A and B are shown apart, each in its own frame.
Chain A
Amino acid sequence: EAQVTQNPRYLITVTGKKLTVTCSQNMNHEYMSWYRQDPGLGLRQIYYSMNVEVTDKGDVPEGYKVSRKEKRNFPLILESPSPNQTSLYFCASSYGLEGSEQFFGPGTRLTVL
């Protein structure tokens, strides 16, 4: 089954404790991205990757890191999480952007205390 998986789905952590949210897709997609979604603000892009070893900042990259060592995986790293990073996070992938449907993972609800 074609899908984007994220883990964990839910996470409660404390300020400063490094964490990684994994994202994997099995559709051989070139393009992958991370979003956060907060009430009233819609989806905001954190980072995106056009291909392996190519990553770029989105609209809200501060406090986050990513890597794209393999085509299928695009982990999101929070080196020192803070309470303002409490949010719902989505990973997405597509063949490209122009006309390509983005497939979203199920989401990770993160709470930073």
Chain B
Amino acid sequence: GQNIDQPTEMTATEGAIVQINCTYQTSGFNGLFWYQQHAGEAPTFLSYNVLDGLEEKGRFSSFLSRSKGYSYLLLKELQMKDSASYLCAVVDSNYQLIWGAGTKLIIKP
């Protein structure tokens, strides 16, 4: 079966750095997305990785290792508004999007 694993919940301090991991076992791979979702709202796009390596976009970076079936989202200089759920999603060989259950990130002052 297809599976995406993310930690259920993480806590971090304002101003710090946090890394949210995502591991996947899917039938094929055609890219990996990270989305942010605030409580009660729609998910919004953060990043897309299809090649190995690090993609940096302001305070957020996303890393991919296809051989290890692993990605992480790195959030720097955390702000209170970063409190949200972070969703990892993989495009499989049939171009279906497989979603993880999401990681709830709690930021403390």
State which of A35, A101, A103, A106 has its C-beta within 8 Å of the C-beta of B48.
Answer: A101
Is there an interface contact between A97 and B87, defined as CB atoms closer than 8 Å? no
Is there an interface contact between A90 and B96, defined as CB atoms closer than 8 Å? no
Contacts of B80 in A (CB 8 A): none
Q: In the complex, how many residues of chain B place their beta carbon closer than 8 angstroms to a beta carbon of chain A? A: 23
Interface residues of B (CB under 8 A from A): 8, 30-31, 33, 35, 40-45, 48, 50, 87, 89, 91, 95-97, 99-102
Is there an interface contact between B95 and A101, defined as CB atoms closer than 8 Å? no
Contacts of A99 in B (CB 8 A): 31, 48, 50
| Closest partner residue, chain A, to B89 (CB atom) | A43
Contacts of A96 in B (CB 8 A): 95
Is there an interface contact between A98 and B41, defined as CB atoms closer than 8 Å? no
**What are 23 A-B residue pairs whose CB atoms fall within 8 Å in the complex?**
A35-B99, A41-B101, A42-B99, A42-B100, A43-B89, A58-B96, A90-B43, A97-B30, A97-B31, A97-B97, A98-B30, A98-B31, A98-B50, A98-B95, A99-B31, A99-B48, A99-B50, A101-B33, A101-B48, A102-B45, A104-B42, A105-B42, A107-B41
Interface centre among A58, A101, A103 (most CB of B within 10 A): A101
Is there an interface contact between A104 and B101, defined as CB atoms closer than 8 Å? no
Q: Interface of chain A, helix or strand or loop or mixed?
A: loop
Contacts of A104 in B (CB 8 A): 42-44
Chain A nearest Cβ from B88, distance in angstroms: 9
Interface centre among B87, B91, B97, B99 (most CB of A within 10 A): B97
Is there an interface contact between B42 and A43, defined as CB atoms closer than 8 Å? no
Q: How far is the CA of A45 from the CA of B95 in the complex (A)?
A: 13
Q: How far is the CA of A95 from the CA of B106 in the complex (A)?
A: 33
Is there an interface contact between A42 and B102, defined as CB atoms closer than 8 Å? yes
Is there an interface contact between B99 and A44, defined as CB atoms closer than 8 Å? yes
Instruction: Give A37-55 interface residues, CB cut-off 8 Å to B.
Output: 40-45
Beyond A97-B97, A104-B44, 15 additional pairs, beta carbon < 8 A: A40-B8, A41-B101, A42-B99, A42-B101, A44-B99, A90-B43, A97-B31, A97-B96, A99-B31, A99-B50, A101-B33, A101-B45, A101-B48, A102-B35, A104-B42
